[in-house]
Amino acid sequence: MLDGCAITPHQGTAMADNHMLLETNEPRFIVIEGPIGVGKTSLATRLAHTFNSDLILEKAEDNPFLERFYSDPRHAALPTQLFFLFQRVRQIEQLHQADLFSPVRVADFLLDKDRLFAELNLDHHELILYDQVVDSLGLRPPTPDLVVYLQAPADVLMRRIMSRGIPYEKNINRDYLERLGEAYARFFYNFDAAPLLIVNAATIDPIHHEVEYEELLCAINNVNRGRHFFNPAAQSIA
Protein backbone atom coordinates (compact mmCIF):
# COMPACT_ATOMS: atom_id res chain seq x y z
CA MET A 1 0.00 0.00 0.00
CA LEU A 2 1.34 3.42 -0.96
CA ASP A 3 1.32 6.19 1.61
CA GLY A 4 0.69 9.86 1.03
CA CYS A 5 -2.47 9.65 -1.07
CA ALA A 6 -4.24 12.98 -1.26
CA ILE A 7 -7.82 11.71 -1.64
CA THR A 8 -10.18 9.53 0.34
CA PRO A 9 -12.83 7.14 -1.05
CA HIS A 10 -15.72 9.52 -0.48
CA GLN A 11 -14.28 12.29 -2.65
CA GLY A 12 -15.74 12.70 -6.12
CA THR A 13 -14.46 12.58 -9.66
CA ALA A 14 -14.22 16.35 -9.94
CA MET A 15 -11.60 16.42 -7.24
CA ALA A 16 -9.70 13.51 -8.75
CA ASP A 17 -9.72 15.11 -12.18
CA ASN A 18 -9.02 18.72 -11.22
CA HIS A 19 -7.19 18.99 -7.91
CA MET A 20 -5.47 15.78 -7.00
CA LEU A 21 -2.74 16.31 -9.60
CA LEU A 22 -1.68 19.53 -7.90
CA GLU A 23 -0.89 17.77 -4.64
CA THR A 24 1.66 15.27 -5.92
CA ASN A 25 4.62 15.05 -8.28
CA GLU A 26 2.84 13.26 -11.08
CA PRO A 27 4.93 11.38 -13.67
CA ARG A 28 5.22 13.11 -17.04
CA PHE A 29 5.33 10.02 -19.27
CA ILE A 30 3.09 7.15 -18.19
CA VAL A 31 2.84 3.82 -20.01
CA ILE A 32 -0.04 1.40 -19.39
CA GLU A 33 0.80 -2.21 -20.22
CA GLY A 34 -0.70 -5.66 -19.98
CA PRO A 35 -2.17 -8.46 -22.11
CA ILE A 36 -5.04 -8.22 -24.57
CA GLY A 37 -8.35 -7.39 -22.92
CA VAL A 38 -6.94 -6.22 -19.58
CA GLY A 39 -8.07 -2.61 -20.06
CA LYS A 40 -4.92 -0.77 -21.19
CA THR A 41 -6.52 1.55 -23.72
CA SER A 42 -9.52 2.42 -21.54
CA LEU A 43 -7.30 3.31 -18.57
CA ALA A 44 -4.82 5.24 -20.72
CA THR A 45 -7.67 7.21 -22.27
CA ARG A 46 -9.16 8.12 -18.90
CA LEU A 47 -5.78 9.07 -17.45
CA ALA A 48 -5.06 11.29 -20.45
CA HIS A 49 -8.39 13.04 -19.86
CA THR A 50 -7.59 13.49 -16.17
CA PHE A 51 -4.10 14.84 -16.84
CA ASN A 52 -5.25 16.83 -19.89
CA SER A 53 -2.35 15.18 -21.70
CA ASP A 54 -1.28 13.78 -25.03
CA LEU A 55 -2.56 10.24 -25.65
CA ILE A 56 -0.51 7.76 -27.68
CA LEU A 57 -2.42 4.57 -28.48
CA GLU A 58 -1.50 1.31 -30.16
CA LYS A 59 -3.92 1.30 -33.09
CA ALA A 60 -4.55 -2.40 -33.54
CA GLU A 61 -7.50 -1.75 -35.83
CA ASP A 62 -5.11 -0.20 -38.38
CA ASN A 63 -3.11 -3.43 -38.75
CA PRO A 64 -4.41 -5.16 -41.91
CA PHE A 65 -2.76 -8.46 -40.91
CA LEU A 66 -4.24 -8.79 -37.43
CA GLU A 67 -7.49 -10.50 -38.37
CA ARG A 68 -5.53 -13.01 -40.45
CA PHE A 69 -3.14 -13.55 -37.53
CA TYR A 70 -5.90 -14.55 -35.12
CA SER A 71 -7.28 -17.09 -37.63
CA ASP A 72 -3.90 -18.31 -38.97
CA PRO A 73 -1.10 -17.21 -36.62
CA ARG A 74 1.57 -19.42 -38.14
CA HIS A 75 1.44 -17.69 -41.53
CA ALA A 76 0.50 -14.15 -40.50
CA ALA A 77 2.67 -13.59 -37.42
CA LEU A 78 5.63 -11.92 -39.15
CA PRO A 79 3.76 -9.27 -41.18
CA THR A 80 1.56 -8.57 -38.15
CA GLN A 81 4.60 -8.06 -35.95
CA LEU A 82 6.44 -5.89 -38.46
CA PHE A 83 3.40 -3.68 -39.03
CA PHE A 84 3.14 -3.01 -35.29
CA LEU A 85 6.88 -2.36 -35.11
CA PHE A 86 6.80 0.29 -37.85
CA GLN A 87 3.65 1.81 -36.36
CA ARG A 88 5.46 2.22 -33.03
CA VAL A 89 8.50 3.68 -34.76
CA ARG A 90 6.31 6.48 -36.13
CA GLN A 91 4.76 7.01 -32.70
CA ILE A 92 8.21 7.20 -31.06
CA GLU A 93 9.16 9.89 -33.57
CA GLN A 94 6.05 11.81 -32.55
CA LEU A 95 7.06 11.50 -28.90
CA HIS A 96 10.50 12.90 -29.61
CA GLN A 97 8.97 15.79 -31.54
CA ALA A 98 6.42 16.57 -28.82
CA ASP A 99 6.70 19.68 -26.71
CA LEU A 100 9.11 18.84 -23.88
CA PHE A 101 7.15 21.14 -21.61
CA SER A 102 3.81 19.40 -22.12
CA PRO A 103 2.52 18.36 -18.69
CA VAL A 104 1.99 14.61 -19.19
CA ARG A 105 1.94 12.02 -21.96
CA VAL A 106 0.11 8.69 -21.64
CA ALA A 107 0.62 5.64 -23.87
CA ASP A 108 -0.92 2.17 -23.92
CA PHE A 109 2.20 0.37 -25.13
CA LEU A 110 5.85 -0.04 -24.19
CA LEU A 111 8.17 -0.56 -27.14
CA ASP A 112 10.44 -2.85 -25.09
CA LYS A 113 7.66 -5.41 -24.86
CA ASP A 114 7.44 -5.66 -28.66
CA ARG A 115 9.95 -8.49 -28.60
CA LEU A 116 7.75 -10.30 -26.10
CA PHE A 117 5.19 -10.81 -28.86
CA ALA A 118 7.92 -11.61 -31.38
CA GLU A 119 9.30 -14.39 -29.19
CA LEU A 120 5.80 -15.71 -28.55
CA ASN A 121 4.61 -15.77 -32.16
CA LEU A 122 7.57 -15.99 -34.56
CA ASP A 123 9.59 -19.05 -35.49
CA HIS A 124 13.37 -19.12 -35.18
CA HIS A 125 14.19 -17.70 -38.61
CA GLU A 126 11.47 -15.06 -38.44
CA LEU A 127 12.77 -13.92 -35.07
CA ILE A 128 16.27 -13.51 -36.50
CA LEU A 129 14.85 -11.38 -39.32
CA TYR A 130 12.77 -9.35 -36.85
CA ASP A 131 15.85 -8.65 -34.71
CA GLN A 132 17.80 -7.55 -37.79
CA VAL A 133 15.05 -5.10 -38.70
CA VAL A 134 14.95 -3.72 -35.14
CA ASP A 135 18.74 -3.31 -35.08
CA SER A 136 18.71 -1.48 -38.41
CA LEU A 137 16.16 1.04 -37.12
CA GLY A 138 18.39 2.27 -34.28
CA LEU A 139 15.41 2.96 -32.03
CA ARG A 140 15.72 5.33 -29.07
CA PRO A 141 12.38 5.16 -27.28
CA PRO A 142 11.91 7.64 -24.42
CA THR A 143 12.06 6.13 -20.94
CA PRO A 144 8.75 6.30 -19.07
CA ASP A 145 8.52 7.97 -15.69
CA LEU A 146 6.11 5.20 -14.71
CA VAL A 147 4.91 1.90 -16.15
CA VAL A 148 1.53 0.60 -14.94
CA TYR A 149 1.30 -3.15 -15.55
CA LEU A 150 -2.28 -4.46 -15.49
CA GLN A 151 -2.66 -8.15 -14.62
CA ALA A 152 -5.66 -10.47 -14.97
CA PRO A 153 -6.05 -14.25 -15.46
CA ALA A 154 -6.90 -15.71 -18.85
CA ASP A 155 -10.55 -16.40 -17.95
CA VAL A 156 -11.09 -12.73 -17.11
CA LEU A 157 -9.32 -11.61 -20.28
CA MET A 158 -11.39 -13.98 -22.41
CA ARG A 159 -14.63 -12.73 -20.88
CA ARG A 160 -13.71 -9.11 -21.49
CA ILE A 161 -12.57 -9.78 -25.06
CA MET A 162 -15.80 -11.56 -25.90
CA SER A 163 -17.89 -8.82 -24.30
CA ARG A 164 -16.40 -6.04 -26.41
CA GLY A 165 -17.42 -7.91 -29.56
CA ILE A 166 -14.60 -7.05 -31.96
CA PRO A 167 -15.12 -9.49 -34.87
CA TYR A 168 -11.46 -10.32 -35.57
CA GLU A 169 -10.88 -11.19 -31.89
CA LYS A 170 -13.40 -14.03 -31.89
CA ASN A 171 -10.64 -16.50 -32.79
CA ILE A 172 -8.49 -15.67 -29.77
CA ASN A 173 -8.31 -18.76 -27.57
CA ARG A 174 -7.64 -19.28 -23.90
CA ASP A 175 -4.35 -21.10 -24.49
CA TYR A 176 -2.93 -18.07 -26.32
CA LEU A 177 -4.01 -15.78 -23.48
CA GLU A 178 -2.39 -18.11 -20.94
CA ARG A 179 0.91 -18.06 -22.82
CA LEU A 180 0.68 -14.31 -23.29
CA GLY A 181 0.05 -13.76 -19.59
CA GLU A 182 3.05 -15.92 -18.69
CA ALA A 183 5.23 -14.00 -21.16
CA TYR A 184 4.17 -10.69 -19.61
CA ALA A 185 4.87 -12.01 -16.11
CA ARG A 186 8.39 -13.07 -17.13
CA PHE A 187 9.03 -9.74 -18.84
CA PHE A 188 8.01 -7.63 -15.87
CA TYR A 189 9.65 -9.93 -13.33
CA ASN A 190 13.01 -8.62 -14.58
CA PHE A 191 11.85 -5.14 -15.59
CA ASP A 192 13.83 -2.33 -13.97
CA ALA A 193 13.99 0.33 -16.69
CA ALA A 194 11.41 2.55 -14.96
CA PRO A 195 9.30 2.71 -11.80
CA LEU A 196 6.68 -0.03 -11.96
CA LEU A 197 3.16 -0.24 -10.52
CA ILE A 198 1.70 -3.76 -10.80
CA VAL A 199 -2.10 -3.67 -10.66
CA ASN A 200 -4.44 -6.58 -9.99
CA ALA A 201 -6.97 -5.61 -12.66
CA ALA A 202 -9.07 -8.75 -12.34
CA THR A 203 -11.49 -7.45 -9.71
CA ILE A 204 -11.55 -3.69 -10.26
CA ASP A 205 -13.18 -1.45 -12.86
CA PRO A 206 -11.51 1.96 -12.67
CA ILE A 207 -13.29 3.10 -15.80
CA HIS A 208 -16.82 2.87 -14.42
CA HIS A 209 -16.26 2.91 -10.64
CA GLU A 210 -15.15 6.32 -9.42
CA VAL A 211 -13.73 5.24 -6.06
CA GLU A 212 -11.58 2.56 -7.68
CA TYR A 213 -10.31 5.06 -10.23
CA GLU A 214 -9.45 7.60 -7.55
CA GLU A 215 -7.56 4.99 -5.53
CA LEU A 216 -5.60 3.87 -8.58
CA LEU A 217 -4.90 7.46 -9.60
CA CYS A 218 -3.62 8.13 -6.11
CA ALA A 219 -1.24 5.18 -6.38
CA ILE A 220 -0.04 6.33 -9.81
CA ASN A 221 0.71 9.79 -8.46
CA ASN A 222 2.71 8.41 -5.54
CA VAL A 223 5.09 6.05 -7.34
CA ASN A 224 8.40 7.67 -8.20
CA ARG A 225 10.85 4.80 -7.83
CA GLY A 226 11.03 1.04 -7.42
CA ARG A 227 8.30 -1.58 -7.75
CA HIS A 228 4.88 -1.34 -6.12
CA PHE A 229 1.67 -3.38 -6.06
CA PHE A 230 -1.92 -2.18 -6.18
CA ASN A 231 -4.34 -4.87 -5.06
CA PRO A 232 -7.51 -3.48 -3.44
CA ALA A 233 -9.04 -6.97 -3.16
CA ALA A 234 -6.24 -8.15 -0.86
CA GLN A 235 -6.46 -4.97 1.20
CA SER A 236 -10.20 -5.41 1.72
CA ILE A 237 -9.70 -9.01 2.86
CA ALA A 238 -6.98 -7.93 5.28
pLDDT tens, residue by residue, 79-129: 999 999 999 888 887 776 665 556 678 999 998 889 999 999 999 999 999
Assigned domain for 189 exists: yes
pLDDT by residue (tens digit) across 28-58? 899 999 999 999 999 999 999 999 888 999 9
**Which of the following is catalytic: 17, 54, 108, 131?**
108
Cα 222 → chain centroid? 18
Q: What is the mean pLDDT of the chain?
A: 85
pTM equals 0.85
Q: Which pLDDT belongs to residue 17?
A: 41
Pairing type for strands 146-151 and 29-33 reads: parallel
Residue 108 annotated as catalytic? yes
Q: Is residue 224 part of a domain?
A: yes
Lowest average pLDDT, out of 139-143, 145-149, 150-154, 189-193, goes to 139-143
**Is residue 48 a part of any domain in this protein?**
yes
6 lies in some domain: no
CA-based nearest residue to 69, from 113, 23, 36: 36
Domain that holds residue 233: 13-237
Q: For residue 102, what is the enclosing H or E element?
A: none
Count the Cβ atoms, other than its own, within 10 Å of residue 75.
11
Q: How many domains does the chain have?
A: 1
Q: Does residue 4 fall inside a structural domain?
A: no
Average pLDDT over residues 62-67: 94
DSSP output for 58-92: --GGG-TTHHHHHH-HHHHHHHHHHHHHHHHHHHH
CATH number at residue 110: 3.40.50.300
CB atoms within 10 A of CB 100: 7
Give a yes or no: residue 1 inside a domain: no
d(CA 58, CA 14): 28
